[in-house]
Structure 1
Amino acid sequence: MWTRLPSSALRVTGADRVDFVQGQMTNDLRGAPTPGVVACGFLNVRGQIEFFARAYKREGDVYLHLDAGQAEALAARLRRYIIFDQVEVEDLSGELRTVHVWDEAAVPGWNPQGGSAQTFELAGGTVLAGRVDRTGTPGVDLHFLARHEEAVLAALGGGEAPLDALDGARVRAGIPDITRDGFVGVLPQEVGLDVGGPLPSISYRKGCYVGQEIMARLEARGNARYHLARLRGEGLPDHAAVTREGRAVGQAGLQAGGLSLARLRKELLAGDVVEVGGVPASVEFLAPAPADA
């Protein structure tokens, strides 16, 4: 089973590519294996998320996989920071396609015991693959040339699951999608991107980057006022304000099957009743990630 992912993509090349991207993103690309993939955020000076990406470190480039419509703006941001760096930023969004295969064992050519990023031949072309948990069970994101799409999908076989089904699975598993859930503009720790969260995307030991000072303060003080939780209710609206007794207490993401992930104030308790755009919902806490996540 596989699902098409609305995507955009950047390729960063040049001798300084790894150090340059390392200095912009929240996670440790330099410490990743080659090939390897890490989830990361690109923050503003207030520590708020501007972009979420998965960065693939390869022998000749850094590939940044983003949600649809994000690459052009991130490319413009990156180019503003190029001074003496030997790097080039190329938007590949029109040339590539991405699908998520729910079961990594179902991908021909993929080694389930291998590394987190792999490149191999499939259907007469080269594909880039990364182990990504979008449903609570690791699957594989496959990136390939648009002209090979028909052949790649035929080689995968199985059935296509709509994006709504993938959203339902990830919300049940407590895994946010920063863009689709509308969590851009908030602190990473508030929506599950912290170490030990469902989508760990921060390294507190990697060195400086835009927004790093705020991240260091939050690590030292542990005083983020919001966290990621799940809401349950009938007819929940997408991307609505969450209130309790008329007071704003958070924001909800995409609704899927009567559930929604939400950025909620920490003083709320499991079982508390809130309103999402006027619709009643109950609060559920998410299980913590394993210690080695």
Structure 2
Amino acid sequence: MRELLVVRKNLSVLVDEHRLPEDAGPHIIRMHLAEILPTIISIPRSGNPMSRSFFSFKRGNVVSPLFVRWKSGTSSKRWVARQMDDAHTKKSKAEGYRSRAAYKLIEIDSKFRLFNKNTRNIVDLGFAPGAWTQVALARCKSKNITPRILGVDLINCSPPEGSSFLQGDIFSKKTHSEIVNFFDPEGHSQPLDLVMSDMMANTSGIKDNDHFASMDLCDGVLILACRLLKKNGNLVMKFYTGKEERLLQNKLEKVFHKVFMTKPAACRAESREMYFVALKKRTDVVSVEDVFSQEHDN
């Protein structure tokens, strides 16, 4: 089995410019990230280093994940062929959506009513190519609401008309500050009504690694929701199923009154992706330390 690639030279974590040793192997990288993590997102550090970690690294002007999926030319051709023959892909093109992911959010909203009369300030994490923002704009318009939607992604992407875009990393305090400044320049409140995340790391083909990478991204989304989502606000986020999904659900239940897992019909049957839908945040201010304090005890 081909080993995962860890780029070791000229690396800098996209969070506060913490630098890794140039000769660091995977275990050293995880130890290093476990040390700097509390200074980045204020999660209490347990006695043991993190057993998993997904962070984005910058090499020159290229942003790439720690976990890299190796694709052969043959597998890439199969993927393209599957996309071309996919009913939701064809439908998205016919209806003007930027990707088939639009139908996942449409189904989730039809079931859980994420968009209501109070849904005005929305952040779309893992924004590119913008299909979820297209759905959010349409759903709000149908309720005669003019929303403020900010898409956030590591890669640059042109937002649909009626929305805005921020290129940034959700693990960065700077990105959190820029989100606050967009919605509430004076910083007097938790500004968000809805947090949406369709983020996923590049898959490695190794189930546990892909699951752990997904869990780390979800933790980042939850931290942002703890800080910036207002009381009674909602959250929807993608995750890959695996051994830590129950741990994530426990954390969500500390923050929200109702938490559900769902797999929209638009997800491919063989895919391990599912979505957490978390409704009605319990209070404006939620302590990140309290939410994550029992993580290693469960």
TM-score by length of 1: 0.25
* Greater helix fraction, Structure 1 or Structure 2: 2
* Greater strand fraction, Structure 1 or Structure 2: 1
